[in-house]
Amino acid sequence: MAEAMQDTGELFFCGLNMQLQVPGYASRVITTLLGARDGQYLALHDNGANGGGLERLRLRPGDPLVVRFFHEGVAYGFRSYVRQLLREPEPMVFIAYPEETQSFALRQTPRVNCRLPARVRVGDDGEESTALVLDVSEHGCRVALPIAPAVDENETLHISLALPEETEPLVRFSADVRRRSEEEGRQVLGLSADLSQTFQRLGAYFPSD
């Protein structure tokens, strides 16, 4: 269920990942916020490993957009439109600055229950360890790890897992730790990440609630 409309003043910061979608089309592209001018625009950069995400949307000035992002464990969304596009030196898009965004509590989103083996690395230099993905939603997942070493909240995890009966390469994503608890001799982490595509693929194999 949606919460109250939120002011945008403290939500937009450089490095924030934002998902763009043209209404009526399934394609979604993850971009990174490079800068913003209050009341005028947000400047977004294609953050795909090989680029090409913005080009796939085939945007033009004036095109409407649905924008989604996560901040401190809450999912936000707003409607905007394309103000300008740049292709050189790198693909960028300038979109209209929203006056307000709609927020949603992540706990209220559907969740796929699963038990998928995974490999997890803490930060950029940490050692990789085994883990178990317990459930997945469009906005994050829960992961069980050995009790030590303890993982702190706000750490970034890099996760690799294979989906059932898939021949494609491993699913790889980074996620921020929002919650930590200890259960049955292990630590269980609540992670925040954009997992919409993984959630949809898992729906064919596992029940959701």
What CATH number is associated with residue 35? Answer: 2.30.110.10
Tell me how far apart the alpha carbons of residues 91 and 104 are, in angstroms, rounded to a whole number: 30
Q: Which domain holds residue 74?
A: 2-106
How many residues are listed for the chain in this entry? 209
- Measured between alpha carbons, how far is 93 from 81 in angstroms, rounded to an integer? 10
8 A C-beta contact, residue 191 and residue 130:
no
Q: What is the pLDDT of residue 91?
A: 86
Instruction: Dump the DSSP string for 91-113.
Output: -EEEEEPPSEEEEEEGGGS-EEE
Residue 207 domain flag: no
Supply the pLDDT for residue 49.
47
Tell me if 160 is assigned to some domain.
Answer: yes
Query: Are 97 and 12 part of one and the same domain?
Result: yes
The pLDDT value given to residue 3: 40
Q: Exposure pattern of 80-91 as b/e (b: 16+ CB <10 Å)? A: bebbeeeeeeeb
Give me the number of domains the chain comprises. 2
Count CB neighbours of 36 within 10 A.
20
209 in a structural domain: no
Residues 6+ apart with CB under 8 A from 132: 115, 116, 117, 118, 143, 144
Per residue of the chain (209 residues), give pLDDT as tens: 334 344 455 678 888 888 898 998 877 888 889 999 988 999 998 875 445 678 888 899 999 999 988 766 577 889 999 999 998 888 899 999 997 777 655 445 678 888 899 999 988 778 889 999 999 988 889 999 998 888 888 889 999 988 776 656 678 899 999 888 888 789 999 999 988 888 877 877 776 66
